[in-house]
A and B are shown apart, each in its own frame.
Chain A
Amino acid sequence: MNFLEWCQNSPLSAAVRHEAWTIPAIEILHLAGVVLVFGSVLVTNLRLLGWILASEPASALAADLARWTRLGLVLLVITGPLLFLAMPMKLFETSDFTVKLVLVAIAGTYYFAIYRKRILAAGGSGTLKRSAAISLGLWMAAIVAGLELGAFS
């Protein structure tokens, strides 16, 4: 609880809560980040699974879309902690936020530690398809948990 109180009492938290428009504005940028990550991850993995754009080279497409995934993640990494600072107690009231954090950590770890290396190693092998399905599933689980948090809280 001490950590949550410390967050709540931090100057940055007060600054985010000070004006009525800041939290909605940060929420919108957070959602825009989710849109960017979801869109680029969806299209990359649908291609890797061979469902769309099958005639296009997968490696070029994956490399191009990875830039947009990264941009989206940067937006999320900035706006997410700001939103958390603004309402730490509210977020930890239910276990939903913890579930989301864990899912984001798993999806992010898989993406950066395993998935990206496999994609960069390229090819259209079965492992790649499996990685694509796993990564897409993990990101979707994390995003759905986030949407659930937004919708039900």
Chain B
Amino acid sequence: MSPLEIAQAMEASPFGTALRESRYGFPGLIFVHLCGLLITAGTVFLWDLRLLGVGLRSTPVSRVGQALLPWTWSGFCIMLLTGSAMVCMEAGRLYPNTAFRVKLALLILAGVNMLTFHATVYRSVGRLDRDAVVPTRARVAGAISLVLWFALLTAGRAIGYTINYGD
């Protein structure tokens, strides 16, 4: 089975079909998806500002992380669940959509950025907490994350404008 055939099978599945045929399927899913986005992007944004050294400076990096991370992940789970359901709904149309592909690539990049950060800079978080000035590597991670999340938001919005219902 090619990826396109898998996508078409997802779309043709009873789950995908039921969602597509329900009047409240898409509005309901996108609404909950956006709620998840606010929680995740809102906390990621503050975290990035902290890493850049421009926000929450009076609070140690590790404390900010401990406080925000549960919220970031909760929002992310909401987005992943609703996002996957929307993919099932429109898989065949999303598959060739450039904005959708870019969004998936950006998600992977955001994940790689996060894992790299935790495997390198965050290991010496004790020093991050004590240093008055945020080290360059942490700033770079914050800046990359900020750019990636803004791009993700843009790609997500672009899907709504470019998805092709013309068949």
Q: Which residues on the B side are within 8 Å of A43 (C-beta)? A: 42-43, 46, 67-68
CA distance A53 to B13 in the complex (A): 46
User: Does B122 interact with chain A (Cβ within 8 Å)?
Assistant: no
**CB-nearest residue of chain A to B150:** A32
User: Does B30 interact with chain A (Cβ within 8 Å)?
Assistant: yes
B58 and A38 within 8 A (CB)? no
**CB-nearest residue of chain B to A56:** B59
Interface of A is mostly: helix
CA distance A145 to B58 in the complex (A): 34
User: Does A34 interact with chain B (Cβ within 8 Å)?
Assistant: yes
Number of interface residues of A (CB under 8 A): 32
User: Does B15 interact with chain A (Cβ within 8 Å)?
Assistant: no
User: Does B14 interact with chain A (Cβ within 8 Å)?
Assistant: no
B161 and A147 within 8 A (CB)? no
CA distance A144 to B37 in the complex (A): 12
Q: Produce 1/0 per residue, A34-54, CB < 8 A to B.
A: 111011101100100000110
Residues of A with Cβ closer than 8 Å to B? Answer: 24, 27-28, 31-32, 34-36, 38-40, 42-43, 46, 52-53, 55-57, 60-61, 64-65, 67-68, 143-144, 147-148, 150-152
